[in-house]
Amino acid sequence: MKVGFFRGTALRPLPPGESKQKEARYLDIYAGDKLDTKQLATWIKQAASLPGWDFGSKRDGGIRL
């Protein structure tokens, strides 16, 4: 599975996967990998706090994290 962080260069530490897009970073997860769930959760929390998506708008159905 590939997890994409569209503003991944703003995350610390940087997710390991580079992208052709200037700000995007990726995390590739393969079957059998030992996943650092604490680090993944930290990246997700950081990404959710970045400006860019308005989860309260009617356009996106009012999704709440």
Give residue limits of the domains in the chain: 2-51
How far is residue 39's CA from residue 13's CA, in Å, rounded to a whole number? 9
Cα–Cα distance for residue pair 25/41, rounded to 1 Å? 15
Q: Name the helix (H) or strand (E) containing 58.
A: none
Predicted confidence (pLDDT) per residue in 19-49, tens digit: 999 999 999 999 999 999 999 999 999 999 9
Residue 62 above 60 pLDDT? no
Determine what percent of the chain is predicted with pLDDT higher than 90.
75
The verdict on pTM exceeding 0.85 is no
pLDDT, position 60: 52
Task: Produce one character per residue of 1-28: b if its CB has 16 or more CB atoms within 10 Å, e if not.
Answer: eebebbbbbbbeeebeeeeeeeebbbbe
Across-strand partners of 5?
25
